[in-house]
Amino acid sequence: MKGRKHLWWLLSGLLVLLAVAIVAVNLLQWLLAPTMIVQYQASDAVIPNPERGLYHVLYGYYPGHADVGIDEEELKEVQAKEAITLVQLNYVLSDFIKQPLSEAFLQGVQHDLETVRHAGFKAILRFQYNNGEHWNEGKVDPDAPKERILEHLDQLKDALQQNSDVLAFVEAGFIGVWGEWHNSTNGLFDSIGNVNESSKAVLMKWLEVLPEDRMVLLRSFRHKQDVFGNQPLTGEQAFSGQPRARVGTHNDCFLASKDDFGTYWPDDDDSLRKQKEYLHNENLYVPQSGETCNAGEEATPYIACDNALKEFAYQHWSALNGGYEPGVLKRWQEQGCFSEIQRRLGYRFTLTQAEIPKQADKGKTLTLHISLKNDGWASPYNPRKVELLLRHTGTGVKYTFPLQEDPRRWFPGEQQQLQIKVQLPGQMEAGDYAVLLNLPDPRPTLHDLPAYSIQLANSDTWEPATGYNSLHANVHIQA
């Protein structure tokens, strides 16, 4: 009996020694390995990233209404409570149908966009000559003639150019009821509601007064097809600055019915499939925005969470009105998909793994590999920089290396493998450097502002004070 107990203790001791030896070997291998492999934990947080997600709606100008104006503190409160970074600014121009925009109005637009910048938001602009005040009575409120619209856009050009850094995109607006390009009182469409030379001139004027890197959204994709044809954008055409590459759509009756209250036509099953397939391909390269408008019985099968999530994903939605239609939003909250919608509108970049050298020589090439995935429904639609940063852990001295990457082409559902090679300066101080990734706004006015940098959807990687994403790795730079 004693012999068996002695043998048991001997075997136990040998197993412990073996386990210790295995751990020691693994540790030694890790210490001797030239690179480290870092794995990252995904986060399920709703992240207030720029140019995507739910948007807040405010009126910058609306004659006869006292509750208008853009308040910086209100925007900051909305962002803190709802993780929102987009605001739609509506301007009802009924006072100016027969006259130029006043200097006071133009100064107001300038002030509003400065307020948007101070609050860390991006703006969606819509100018309209009516707000559908008499639509429910069967009456059509007036818009303005083409010449007046073109004049107003020329007047707005300076404010648009000076503040284009804080424009996410603009809606074409101006024409028809609510500026939604239907029921014009000035013949701005043909007899069956298609774009004519007058409405085309308005679109082209928009593209003229905006910088080349900003886009215009039409109420219906069919209006874009009237101008540019029925074929969706190709990867070669995308982001080229050509007019057709700068036009997207906003569907303001998303999921309202089988045809989204006339957004799709014809509405037979085969035609609907083809129209949605067009959007599926087109919206890889341009923003899809809009709002819901119907929570009634007709909409019930379409606004149900399972169908809504499918349609959001297939059409690559980037932005959605976070306040309308309240019945639809409530349904999504009750059915449990609202938080997923908040998370996945637009892009959502998640680090998965990085392979980073433990040491490198100054003046030589540093090579590393980063894997990330886009778990959102769309990609960024405006230009975006990608930078690798090395920051000395003692002195805080920072070196920035711009990368030849375009996040607009990090498409939804795809895994990206970033193969990074940077030339280290010969004068770098020796020591340990934290490795970070920065995805800043390329405009100089916003580049260094954390509110305008992209936060990766990972746990414990975001530095709110800098706007950088830590890769949880240090590299030792040798003399």
Inter-CA distances, 129 with 75, 94, 219, 436, Å: 25, 5, 16, 48
Question: Do residues 411 and 378 touch, judged by C-beta distance below 8 A?
Answer: no
Residue 17 has what pLDDT?
Answer: 60
Give all domains of the chain, ordered by start, each with its CATH number.
53-344 (3.20.20.80), 349-478 (2.60.40.770)
What single DSSP character describes residue 458? B
Q: Is the pTM of this model over 0.85?
A: yes
Higher-scoring residue by pLDDT: 69, 151 = 151
**Residue type at 296 in one-letter notation:** G
pLDDT at 12 over 90: no
Residue 299 has what pLDDT?
Answer: 99
* pLDDT band at residue 8 using 50, 70 and 90 as cut-offs: low
User: How confident is the model over 166-188, as pLDDT tens digits?
Assistant: 999 999 999 999 999 999 999 99
User: How confident is the model over 418-467, as pLDDT tens digits?
Assistant: 999 999 999 999 999 999 999 999 999 999 999 999 999 999 999 999 99
Cβ atoms within 10 Å, residue 395: 9
pLDDT at 32 over 50: no
User: How confident is the model over 257-268, as pLDDT tens digits?
Assistant: 999 999 999 999
What's the first-to-final CA gap in the chain, in angstroms?
A: 65
Cβ atoms within 10 Å, residue 349: 24
Contacts 24+ apart (CB under 8 A), 270-278: 275/221, 276/314, 276/315, 278/221, 278/225, 278/230, 278/232
CA 340 to chain centre: 15
Residue 218, C-beta contacts closer than 8 angstroms, at least 6 positions apart: 171, 172, 181, 203, 224, 247, 248, 249, 250
β 468-478/431-438 pair status = antiparallel
Residue 392, C-beta contacts closer than 8 angstroms, at least 6 positions apart: 398, 429, 431, 432, 433
